[in-house]
Every structure is written in structure tokens, then in C-alpha cells.
């Protein structure tokens, strides 16, 4: 039996996905606004990482909420989801997150993403126009409750960068953090 708080969050998750449905098809291919076409930096490699930063995702917040980096620094982010819901750690600008939120809504609409699990078979399915939702971008990791992952990233620009969860409703609830340049 689902507790009242969890049921309310599941209903809110579904409502947001449904209300935003008309915008979802305008998102384009998953990955259009990600790593290769952006001012946020580029994928790094583990051997080049100058340090490891542990990120904990819980239900609608990150710990820590701010990460300080140097231009050109490569960071290995070890990310753990300690919440009850699926969460994402995604490095990008506010505009990139807004576009990615539309893609995440599409994932919900197609059954690839549920409030507390990822349907990996549905992630392989065509979401329209030959677009797959593998969610394997190098600047992002999508995790079910209790799971861990990592992102290795080189911050080559000092633009306004955030890390955020773009699961429908989570960013709007404040699940984002700042990347500050030293």
C-alpha cells in the first residue's frame, strides 16, 4: 500500500506530464541540446579527473547544492539516488534544462519513465521520428531509487551552469544546484 505522501507525489508527477503533453513533441531528438552542442564543457575521462565530488539526490534536492570548479577542471561526479523516486543529475544551462524537460515528459508519456522506475525496454523504443530515449548523454545520469552512477565532466567554459533533475516537476520543485567557477 502506497503512503499518502508518495501517492500525492505520483499524482502530481502524472498531472505535470499530462498538462505539458502538447509541448513534448517540439523537443526534437534526445541529445540535441546536450554535451556536444553546448557551452557547458565536454565529457572527461576518469584518468584526467582532478577530484571526485559525491552528489546525493533525494526527493527534490541535491546535496551539496553548489559545486565549485575551475575552468578546464575535470570532475568525476559519483551520484547516488537516496530518494523514493527516479531522479536525474544533468549538467547544463537553464535553457538546456528547459528543453530536456520536454524530452523527459515524452519519456513519461511513452511509459519509459515512471515515478519510481525506469522501463529500460521502453527506453529502446522509437518515441517518434526515429528518436530513442536511451538517456545515455555524457553530461547526465538517470537513476532509480537506491542506484548510483557517475558523470565525468570537463568544465571548459565559465558560463552559467546548473546541475538539475529534469524528471517532470522536479526542477520546478527546486531540484537544481549551481556550478560556481573559482
pTM (2 decimals)?
0.79
Q: How confident is the model at residue 165 (pLDDT cuts 50, 70, 90)?
A: very high
Percent of the chain with pLDDT over 70: 75
CB neighbours of residue 87 within 10 Å: 28
Q: How confident is the model at residue 132 (pLDDT cuts 50, 70, 90)?
A: low
**Mean pLDDT along residues 55-82:** 97
Fold of 4-181: Immunoglobulin-like (2.60.40)
pLDDT at 56: 98
Amino acid at each position: 500500500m502506497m503512503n499518502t505522501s508518495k501517492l500525492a507525489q505520483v499524482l502530481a508527477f502524472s498531472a505535470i506530464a499530462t498538462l505539458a503533453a502538447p509541448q513534448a513533441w517540439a523537443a526534437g531528438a534526445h541529445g540535441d541540446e546536450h554535451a556536444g552542442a553546448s557551452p557547458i564543457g565536454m565529457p572527461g575521462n576518469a584518468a584526467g579527473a582532478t577530484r571526485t565530488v559525491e552528489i546525493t539526490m533525494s526527493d527534490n534536492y541535491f546535496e551539496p547544492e553548489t559545486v565549485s570548479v575551475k575552468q578546464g577542471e575535470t570532475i568525476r561526479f559519483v551520484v547516488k539516488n537516496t530518494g523514493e523516486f527516479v531522479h536525474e543529475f544533468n549538467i547544463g544551462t537553464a535553457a538546456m534544462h528547459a528543453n530536456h524537460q520536454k524530452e523527459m515528459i515524452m519519456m513519461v508519456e511513452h511509459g519509459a519513465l515512471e515515478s519510481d522506475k525506469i522501463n529500460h525496454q521502453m527506453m529502446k523504443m522509437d518515441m517518434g521520428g526515429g528518436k530513442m530515449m536511451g538517456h545515455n548523454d555524457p553530461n547526465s545520469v538517470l537513476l532509480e531509487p537506491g542506484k548510483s552512477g557517475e558523470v565525468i565532466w570537463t568544465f571548459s567554459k565559465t558560463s552559467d551552469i546548473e546541475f538539475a533533475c529534469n524528471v517532470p516537476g522536479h526542477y520546478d520543485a527546486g531540484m537544481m544546484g549551481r556550478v560556481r567557477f573559482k
